[in-house]
Amino acid sequence: MGLRRRRRLYSLPVSPLVLFGVVLIVLCSSFVNGNSNSTQIPITPINHDLYHTRGALLEEIESLVHRHPSKLSMETFSTQNKGYHAETTVVTYCRNKKDCDDRSKLKILLSFGQHGRELITTELALRILSILSEEEFLSSAYPLNLNNTLDRLVIKVVPMENVNGRKLVEAGDLCERRNGRGVDLNRNWSVDWGKKEKDYDPYEENPGSAPFSEPETQIMRKICASFEPHVWVNVHSGMEALFMPYDHKNTTPEGLPSQRMRLMLEKLNRFQLNDRCLVGSGGGSVGYLAHGTATDYMYDIARVPMSFTFEIYGDSTASSKDCFKMFNPTDITTFNRVLNDWSAAFFTLFSLGGVQIEELHPNATGSGFEKWVSIDDYLNGYLMERKSRYGKKMEVLELGMQEIRTYFRLFLLSSVLLMFMFCSRISKSGRQIVSAMSL
């Protein structure tokens, strides 16, 4: 989701005369003391000893891809809307490129840097890619067989979704979370788009003129539709949390898949993150509802069976105006701890994800049918696959699913009745012929 900055509101019953007096005293005091005693909240600058600039980070990732062409590949997608242009880099990891199209592999889509001010998330993207390429390594205490895990995966990483917003942050607007024209990319998706809560802040949550009005979200939707991932993770900072749907309401989905998602998050929190994180739905845990988020779209519309939002760091002591400190570690010890802990959490997720998908959908990563399915299951699966493949154009199919099932049942019933009538007539005709021949 990306935690909003905390807003502190005060309401005091002060008369205009008293208020004027207070202002006059403050002005006089400032004049006498030459403003030397005025208090200002210190603003922490970007620590360039720890953090890459956007250009340096993307160049390092490009160099990493060039050094490991057998495992990594990179694409750049670009589009524009009304003169506003955006580019998104996508890195694909497959341990053996010859097997990348193998339908038995678990497909994972990760997005970092959706909000410009959350620099630590893009550093985590670089760390994960470095580990995947084996230039860096996880702790020796990592409990899983990493090689066996990676053989079964295809991973797409978007290391910096909001490049234009990052430019504004690096130019000095350290609190900017929106894209280059003031739209929050995590409010620009179609599920419950545009709804405004009572505490709605247009600076923090501007959803844009329409769902998918922004080139960045258009690109991400296309990537999802073509890749059809089994796992989606949207990575943010502002707090420490492991969120599952929903963001736009304070409940989680019903059924076994939701229970399995929560169980997975609880395991990650317990074994990799020392129970530091909130676990549950974004809308029920973070303290406010968010409408039009990427994770709700991925789960409800794209039908990604395991859809998550991870919040990897937050400084609750920081002022809401000191955004770099609020959303990013400022010392090397905390910086390294965050990257080490969350890298281990992601690789644990990679392993657990394959197990969960196979338990929920035995054929989800397979290429053939092992048993017959009911017509309801077939139609649901077919329509959801089509909707996932083609995005918003297929969302209208939901409205007709019940009618399609009803008509199909009527068709089957009428076919059976016609067949029964036809067989009955044949049977009667046969008896008449036999009787005539016996005469």
Question: Hey, which residues are catalytic here?
Answer: 311
Q: Give strand pairing partners of 279.
A: 242
Query: Cα separation of 391 and 328, whole Å?
Result: 34
- Residues 220/161, Cβ–Cβ less than 8 Å: yes
Instruction: Decide: 138 and 344 in contact? Cβ < 8 Å.
Output: yes
What is the Cα–Cα distance from 227 to 238, expressed in whole angstroms? 29
The pair of three-digit structure tokens given for residue 291, joined into one six-digit string: 């409408």
Strand (E) or helix (H) holding 231 = strand 231-236
Phi, then psi, of 107 in degrees rounded to 5: -105, 125
183 and 163 Cβ atoms separated by less than 8 Å: no
Nearest to 346, CA basis, from 28, 170, 130, 34 = 130
Which amino acid does the sequence have at 314? G
On the 0-12 / 13-18 / 19+ scale of CB atoms within 10 A, 220 is buried
Torsion angle defined by CA atoms of residues 299, 302, 308 and 314, in that order, rounded to the nearest 10 degrees: -110
For the chain, the C-alpha Rg in angstroms (whole number) is 28
Phi, psi at 28, each rounded to 5°:
-65, -40
Structure tokens at 226: 């073509």
Amino acid symbol at 58 = L
Contacts of 329 (CB under 8 A, 6+ apart): 50, 120, 313, 335, 337, 338
Q: How far is 327 from 366, CA to CA, in rounded Å?
A: 41
